[in-house]
Amino acid sequence: MSGPGMGRGGSRSLDQVSVEEKKKMDRKALRNLLKYALPFWPKFLLALMLVLMLTGAELLRPYILGLAIDDIAFTLDNPAGILDNKSRIILMGAAFFGLALAQLVIGYFSAFILRATSARIIMNLRDKVFTHVQRLHFPYFDKTPVGSLVTRICNDTNNISEMYTNVLVNFFRDIFEIIGVIIVMFMINTRLALAVMVVVPLMAAATIMFRLKARKVFTRIRAKLAAINIFLSEHIAGMKIIQAFNMQNAKKEEFDTVNHEYLRENDKMIVIFGVFRPFMEIVAAIATALILWIGGKGILESAISFGTVYMFLNYSGKFFQPIMNLTEMYNTTQSSLVSSDRIESLLKTGTEENPGDYQELGEIRGEIEFRNVWFAYVGENWVLRDVSFTVRPGEKIAIVGTTGAGKTTIISLILGFYKIQKGEIFVDGKPISKINIRELRKAVGTVRQDVFLFQGDIETNIRLYNDIDFELVKKAAETVNASKFIENLPLKYKEPVNQRGTTLSEGQRQLLSFARAIVMDPRILVLDEATSSVDARTEQLIQEGLENLMEGRTSITIAHRLSTIKNADRILFLHHGRIAESGSHTELMELRKLYYELYSIQYS
Amino acid sequence: MTDNANSGEQKGNAGLRKKFRLWRLARQGRVPDEIKGTPEEKLLKKKIKQNKNLKKGWGLFIEFIRRHWVRYSFGVLAIVSVNAMSIVTPIITGDIVDMLSDTAAGMESVSLKRLSMLCLVIVGLSFAKLMANFFNRYLIQGASNILEYAMRKRMFNKLIDLSISYFNRKSAGEIMALASNDLRALRHAVGHGIMMLTNALVLLGAGFIYLTVRLSLPLTLAIMIPFPFMLLLINGFSRFIQARFKRVQETFADLSSKVEENISGIRVIKSFVQEEQEIANFRKINESNYDASIKHARVMAIFHPSLSFISTMSYLIMLMAGGLMAMQGAISLGEFVAANTFIGMLIRPISFLGMLINQMQQGKVSLTRIGELIFENPDIFDGKFGTPPIESPGRLSGRIEFNNLRFKYPEKDGYILDGINTAIAPGTTVALVGEVGSGKTTFANLLMRIFDIEEKGMITIDGHDITDIPLKALRDNIGYVPQDNFLFSESIAYNIGFSEEGYPMEEIENAARKSNVYGNIMEFPEKFDTMLGEKGVNLSGGQKQRICIARALIKDAPILILDDCLSSVDVETEKEILANLRDVRAGRTCIIISHRVSTIKDADKIIVLENSRIAEEGSHDQLVALGGIYDKMYRMQLIDEIEINGGGAL
Ligand SMILES: Nc1ncnc2c1ncn2[C@@H]1O[C@H](COP(=O)(O)OP(=O)(O)OP(=O)(O)O)[C@@H](O)[C@H]1O
Ligand SMILES: Nc1ncnc2c1ncn2[C@@H]1O[C@H](COP(=O)(O)OP(=O)(O)OP(=O)(O)O)[C@@H](O)[C@H]1O
Ligand SMILES: [Mg+2]
Ligand SMILES: [Mg+2]
């Protein structure tokens, strides 16, 4: 039979993209980060201008103070002009106040623009990722842990926000400053300027080294964070089992391992960055020493004036300050790059696009045909082997078979969740690979074997977010006999349902998901063990309710209990992925083969 | 305690006053009689709890620092030395410059050797600074990493001991947000906080030393006029920052919760083509997170510039007052310049202080949120009803008695079970039947103390009150198959041998045989090592269910609870499993919950639950003879059978 064999091996690798691949993506990642920001370039430009103004204002302040000092010195020498100078001081005070006020306003606007724009970028990005995830092709979810996707959509997007609030604009400002200072330095004295430039390769080498190391560690940090979320999401869901089996201590240890790995990676980051950043200061110190030494020698030899050396000292300070800033930001940048990589790789994952030349389904009649269908989830572990059958519009089909025979798989294929390897499936005579799959799904009402409820209330769990009259919701609930327990709830249809609906009984959950399937008045009804958790009385009532409803609809029922399938027009007996027998109950019993064996057992 | 600041500004004055009163009461930690029974009471209680959690959180934090005090002392020392070296280096540079300027003026000549020496000293110092800086980062930020780790560990350890009722209230996504986003904020606050605090203190200290040496009192006082305003500003802003940051964190948790649910339910979403609607729903939450961020951005954007605006006022005062005084000769020009330098020295630490405050507020918010989980108490624990648990109950024999058992779920009205009186003899099999939602699973939950009975004495096992049996021993004595077959994304072998000690492979295989899943497993290419997806997505419904049965059987516990565990298997398999169970059941108390008569016919006793009570009780034959609910149910399934068999025979 088939082999499930994917599970964790595959899923974990999702968070461990190789370093080789990383390098390749390196430049692209930066481009991506800028791409997200591109639509907002006027805002960033404005912010940059404001930031530059702020820097300018910062430079004006010492100037005003300098003027004041000159004035005071002048007054001390010429006491006669004191009155005049007093008013000058007041004037300067006013200018100073104005400057401070301007800084306040500009400071507010630049910071706000950056933060707000960044928030918007993050919102848009998150929106984009989430939208993409909704369209991902189905098998992806089989092998991707929930926590991993949550981390990408929520945490990784968050992680790049600092890139836009702190880094982007300051990056430009710093680059401007650096370029400006370099030009000035070369204009003043080439020899000293070259001396300062000597250290640049040193910085470049350090930066490259840092980048390689930091990238690797950041990639692991993000992966470990995802691992924490994966672990949490799974174990919170399974908490009851953990407690019932007294596994708390073992699980504590397991979590400690995951948690500790995250700590270790973070510690590595501290070491790397703890060396890198101070190293840049050493480089700056070397530059200063070089200037002093060369300059000092120059002065001794009377080749350079003292003023030049003094100026250079100041400029080298101004040269290294923005470099230090950039260094400080480099951490954020690397971390953001890694996150944007992770987001982009998710965005590149294939979606279940409609084929370009798909055929309109139009009004669905409800004919389904499997023609020599072969299907395997993994490799060549065939779950369905050469399955062929046709369901005519309005026909009631039942599929029976031992567990693991592939019944649920057939349902998944009808809904287009997986691609088949061989053969073809037709809906209303059109190949399933050539139709708009969402249109088809809309026409199919399914009760899945694994029930899922959403946070909200009873009503939204039945109609979901479709525009459906409350009366119809009520009617659907009545049809499947769910109304009985709903009416007993304090708020009835408005009763809140918590996440997963854990405060309802299993049978109640199943009834709700049953109501959900019929409320949309689907052409095709697919019931995968829809009443497995329901008592006989309720099931009887449901069956009576369904009788009318099924009239004229195509229906496919999977059940183990004969009582559930007795009304079927035709029964397919699935055995090890093949259709072994098919026919009405009477026919199959007369055949006295597999079906007969199975059901004479049940009531012997 | 100040999360009302946000809504407070929108409401009228009266509302504000009320909020303030509430805030004050919350601080005092008391609930006055006059607001009992009003919605305010609930709010107040919540706030008091939050305050308590925050206080406890602080306690944890202090405790942490105390435990790591050596690390922190050295870390702080490293920061101080970095600062010291940052001050020394410019002095040396200045010396060299002075020397050079003298040389240039021809006053004296510096030797090349001395010059080289000093240059080397500068480079050497920078190396020393590298070391100090490295240690500073390694020690202080390393400690905050440890704090994050320790908090997360504590969080999970608490989480896993919390009762299931907690998880009915809190979603996985929210908890994930706490463990990632809030802990990150806390780490930043602690790591950067201490660094900034030390920096600020050192620089302020240096500034004040400078001040005492160089400046006269009146001028100093004049310059310091804006400082109290700064404190006021910080104090005023911190509430806003807190309230708004809290909103940001909350909306992030909503986001995380939504995404977690969405992905978990993606199969349903896709089947019902709800993608667009989900995107719209997500967008709403995303937007509210954005709105919260914008509001937060607004205070943050105004906070820092205002702080530096006020501090610039010191310059202004100096310029005006100092300038005039200097002109009149009241102070010297030197003093004027010195004051200028002094302010320059103070501005930086003050901006550090601002950042510090901001970080602290954010840390506080996250600490409160995390505290809500860390300081939550489990509802179910040993010795809950005051009596100490009995020591080493060993293997129970499995005599279970229910005495007037009544139960309702917390925060829900209406008793699910009411007046249940029955006894289960050891080694017998009891079947529970009843309509959907009649309380069968609840029954099992109570036996395992997943939920707890209201009073002692309602359930006894082997004569011990169930709450007197240590929780661990109780659950060790019960093998359980849940109704929703939950499996972990581990290997099949791991899932079957799910226990702390683990089981040898033979036993695992044996259990798989008994639950009739062995054949299936052996057909998988990797057999027992087959890795499952989350919740076992890569198995069929029946395969999952039978692995769950194997997981319970391997435990060899005296009490076995099977909650509707054959609902997804075909009749043939069911029959075989039942046959296997017959051996297993021998010498064990077995509670089987099912909707199918075929599963429970053989039970020693069948209990029919209806309307929160035991409606019928007895063996299959007795109940059929009784002609009540059970008989009806039996007949219903029997009619089907006759119909089918009849049809087949014809
Ligand atoms: N997502 C998946 N990935 C890999 N293997 C899978 C996946 N889903 C099912 N399988 C395997 O495919 C086979 C058929 O599974 P399917 O769910 O179709 O069985 P079924 O007939 O519905 O059984 P049941 O009656 O127990 O529900 C099983 O062996 C199962 O392990
Ligand atoms: N955690 C909970 N919190 C609140 N109410 C709950 C909780 N769990 C179950 N209930 C309610 O208690 C009642 C009994 O639930 P229970 O799960 O015991 O039913 P059941 O007999 O097992 O039903 P089923 O046959 O559907 O499994 C139901 O009405 C359900 O809504
Ligand atoms: Mg199935
Ligand atoms: Mg139940």
Q: What is the DSSP string of B57-121?
A: HHHHHHHHHHHTHHHHHHHHHHHHHHHHHHHHHHHHHHHHHHHHHHHHTTS----HHHHHHHHHH
CB atoms under 10 Å from CB of A445, counted, come to 25
Residues B52 and B73 in one domain: no
Residues B84 and B63 in one domain: no
Quote the tokens at residue B344.
């320059």
Tell me, yes or no, whether B243 and B333 share the same domain. Answer: yes
Mean pLDDT across the stretch B242-268?
Answer: 91
Q: CA of B156, closest CA in chain A: separation in Å?
A: 7
Q: Does B324 touch chain A (CB under 8 A)?
A: yes
pLDDT confidence band for B289 (50 / 70 / 90): very high
Q: Which among A313, A347, A381 is the end of a domain? A: A347
Task: Please indicate if any CB of chain A lies within 8 Å of the CB of B231.
Answer: no
Distance between Cα A247 and ligand 2 center (Å): 25
Whether residues B565 and B538 share a domain: the answer is no
Could you tell me the residue range of the domain that residue B302 belongs to?
68-374
Mean pLDDT for A437-456 is: 88
Q: Within this chain, do residues A342 and A377 fall inside the same structural domain, yes or no?
A: no
Q: What is each CA distance from B104 to A293, A503, B92, B96, B107, in whole angstroms?
A: 14, 87, 18, 12, 8
The residue out of B317, B339, B374 marking a domain boundary is B374
Which of B336, B469, B454 has its CA nearest to residue B403? B454
Residues 273-302 in A contacting B (C-alpha not used; CB under 8 Å): 273-275, 277-279, 281-282, 284-286, 288-290, 292-293, 295-297, 299-300
Residues of A in contact with B641 (CB under 8 A): 562-563, 602-603
The pLDDT of residue A592 is 81
Q: In terms of DSSP H, where are the helices of B375-447?
A: 440-447
As a whole number of angstroms, the distance between CA A245 and CA B480 comes to 8
Same domain (yes/no): B48, B162: no
pLDDT at A124: 92
Dist. CA B449–CA B443, nearest whole Å? 10
CA trace torsion A154, A157, A163, A165 (10° rounding): -60
What integer pLDDT is reported at residue A502 of this predicted model?
87
pLDDT band with cut points at 50, 70 and 90 for residue A356: low
Q: Is residue A355 part of a domain?
A: no
Contacts of A413 (CB under 8 A, 6+ apart): A370, A373, A375, A384, A420, A425, A432
Tell whether ligand 2 has an atom less than 6 A from the beta carbon of residue A508. Answer: yes
Each residue's pLDDT tens digit, A200-214: 888 888 888 888 888
B33-37, B266-270, B280-284: least confident range: B33-37
CB–CB of B333 and A146 under 8 A? no
CATH code of the domain covering residue B278:
1.20.1560.10
Q: In chain A, which residue's Cα lies nearest the Cα of B115? A: A293
Whether residue B179 lies within 8 A of chain A, CB to CB, comes out as yes
Average pLDDT score over residue span A17-45: 73
Least confident of A8-22, A255-269, B342-356, B578-592: A8-22
Instruction: Determine the residue among A246, A256, A354, A483 to mutate to test chain B binding: the one whose Cβ has the most chain B Cβ atoms within 10 Å.
Output: A246
pLDDT of residue A6: 40
Q: Is residue A363 part of a domain?
A: no
* DSSP string over B617-642: EE-HHHHHHHTSHHHHHHHHHHHHHH
Backbone angles phi, psi at A601, to 5 degrees: -65, -45
Instruction: Please check whether residue A266 touches B, CB under 8 A.
Output: yes
Residue A359 lies in a domain: no
pLDDT at A130 over 60: yes
Residue nearest to atom 23 of ligand 1 (CA): A404
The rounded mean pLDDT for chain A is 83
pLDDT at A184 over 60: yes
Ligand nearest to the CA of B544: 1
Closest Cβ–Cβ partner in B167, B312, B448 for A236: B167
Position B122 in a domain: yes
- The number of the ligand 1 atom at minimal distance from the alpha carbon of A407 is 21
For chain B, helix (H) and strand (E) counts, in that order, are: 25, 10
- Of B50, B53, B43, B51, the closest CA to residue B22 belongs to B43
The reply to whether A356 falls in a domain is no
pLDDT at B12: 54
User: Would residue A9 count as lying in a domain?
Assistant: no
Looking at the structure, do residues B119 and B214 belong to the same domain, yes or no?
A: yes
Within a domain: B25: yes
User: Do B271 and B407 lie in a common domain?
Assistant: no
Which residue out of A2, A375, A564 has the highest number of ligand 1 atoms within 8 Å of its CB and is therefore the one to mutate? Answer: A2
- Are both A333 and A397 inside the same structural domain? no
**A458 and A565: one domain?**
yes
Q: Which of A152-161, A239-248, B79-88, B536-545 has the lowest mean pLDDT?
A: B79-88
Position with higher pLDDT, A156 vs B109: A156
User: How far, rounded to the nearest angstrom, does the alpha carbon of residue B585 sit from its chain's CA centroid?
Assistant: 41
Candidates A143, A198, A235, A236: best to mutate against B (most CBs of B within 10 A) is A236
> Are B224 and B281 found together in one domain?
yes
In a domain, A3, yes or no: no
Q: Categorize the per-residue pLDDT at B551 as very low, low, confident or very high, splitting at 50, 70 and 90.
A: very high
ipTM: 0.88
Task: State residue B395's pLDDT score.
Answer: 83
If you average pLDDT over every residue of chain B, what do you get? 83
Assess whether pLDDT exceeds 80 at residue B42: no
What is the per-residue burial (b if ≥16 Cβ within 10 Å, else e) of A250-277?
A: bbbeebbebbebbbbbbbbbbebbbbbb
* Residue B463 maps to a domain: no
pLDDT tens column, B480-508: 999 988 899 989 999 998 988 888 999 99
Pocket of ligand 1 (CB under 6 A): A 1-2, 4, 142, 377-378, 383, 401, 403-409, 449; B 537-543, 568
Residue B2's pLDDT is 41
Looking at the fold, whether A235 and A192 belong to one and the same domain comes out as yes
Q: What's residue B1's pLDDT? A: 39
Instruction: Decide if B506 is inside a domain.
Output: yes
Q: Which of B556, B587, B619 is the last residue of a domain?
A: B556
Those residues whose C-beta lies under 8 Å from the C-beta of residue A231, and which sit 6 or more positions away, are A147, A254, A255, A258
> A16: how many CB neighbours lie within 10 A of its CB?
10
Specify whether A221 is located in the same domain as A128: yes
Range name among A42-51, A83-92, A533-542, B429-438 with the lowest pLDDT average: A83-92
Q: How far apart are CA B288 and CA B364, in angstroms?
A: 22
Are B171 and A499 within 8 A, CB to CB?
yes
The answer on A473 and A325 residing in a single domain is: no
* Contact between chains at B122 and A285 (C-beta distance less than 8 A): yes
Beta carbons within 8 Å of B437's beta carbon, 6+ residues apart = A485, A504, A505, A507, A508
Q: Are A419 and A515 members of one domain?
A: yes
The domain that holds B516 is classified in CATH as 3.40.50.300
Give contacts of B159 with chain A, Cβ < 8 Å: 236, 239
Using the predicted structure, report yes or no on whether residue B196 has a pLDDT greater than 90.
Answer: no
* pLDDT score, position B547: 92
CATH of the domain at A491: 3.40.50.300
Residue A142 sits at the chain B interface (C-beta within 8 Å): yes
pLDDT at B10 over 60: no
- d(CA A564, ligand 1 centre) in Å: 21
What is the pTM (predicted TM-score) of this model? 0.88
Residue B551, in any domain of the structure: yes
Residue B197 confidence (pLDDT):
84
Residue closest via CA to ligand 2's atom 31 equals: A504
Q: Check CB contact under 8 Å for B336 and A72.
A: yes
Residue A303: what are its φ and ψ, rounded to 5°? -95, -25
Q: Within this chain, do residues A426 and A491 fall inside the same structural domain, yes or no? A: yes
- Do the beta carbons of residue A298 and residue A304 sit within 8 Å? yes
A408 lies in the same domain as A333: no
For B400-458, the pLDDT digits (tens) are 889 888 898 887 888 888 888 888 988 889 999 988 888 899 989 999 998 988 888 88
| Residue A343 · residue A156 · CB < 8 Å | yes
Name the nearest CA neighbour of B362 among B252, B475, B468.
B252
Number of domains in chain A: 2
User: What is the pLDDT, as a whole number, of residue A105?
Assistant: 92
Is some CB atom of chain A closer than 8 A to the CB atom of B300?
A: yes
Residue A142 CA, closest ligand 1 atom number? 1
Q: What average pLDDT does range B230-253 have in this prediction?
A: 87
Over range A415-432, report the average pLDDT: 89
Interchain CB distance below 8 Å, B633 and A536: yes
Q: What local confidence, expressed as pLDDT, does residue B14 receive?
A: 66
- Between CA B199 and CA B137 the distance in angstroms is 13
Say if residue B88 is in the same domain as residue B148.
yes
Give domain status of residue A361, yes or no: no
Is B452 contained in some domain? no
pLDDT > 60? residue B3: no
Give the list of residues 6+ apart from residue A445 with CB closer than 8 angstroms, or none.
Answer: A516, A517, A518, A520, A522, A524, A525, A526
Point out the domain boundary residue: B498, B528, B556: B556
B109 touches chain A (CB under 8 A): yes
* Shared domain check, B104 and B146: yes
| Number of domain units in chain B | 4
A327 and A414: one domain? no
Same domain, yes or no: A175 and A262: yes
Q: What is the bridge-based pairing of β-strands A422-427 and A382-391?
A: unpaired
pLDDT at A602: 56
- Whether B113 has its CB under 8 Å from any CB of chain A: the answer is no
Contact call for A158 and B633, based on CB within 8 A:
no
What chain B residue is nearest to A266 in terms of C-alpha separation?
Answer: B145
Is A401 in the same domain as A305? no
For residues A517 and B578, what is the distance between their CA atoms, to the nearest angstrom? Answer: 33
Q: Is residue B562 part of a domain?
A: yes
| Among A140, A373, A407, residue to substitute to test ligand 1 (most atoms within 8 Å of Cβ) | A407
In this prediction, residues B350-357 reach a mean pLDDT of 79
Q: How confident is the model at residue B285 (pLDDT cuts 50, 70, 90)?
A: very high
**Mean pLDDT score, B391-401:** 83
On whether both B241 and B267 belong to a single domain, the answer is yes
pLDDT over 90 (residue A594): no
Q: Which domain holds residue A503?
A: 368-603
Q: List residues, by chain if needed, whose CB lies under 5 Å from ion ligand 4.
A: A 505-506; B 441, 483
Residue A156, CB half-sphere, CA atoms under 13 Å: how many? 34
Is A446 close to B271, i.e. CB distance below 8 A?
yes
In this predicted structure, the answer to whether residue B119 has a pLDDT above a threshold of 90 is: no
Kindly tell me if the per-residue pLDDT of B649 is higher than 60.
no
**Percent of chain A at pLDDT exceeding 90:** 18
CA dihedral B264, B265, B267, B272 (to 10 degrees): -160
* pLDDT reported for residue B165: 87
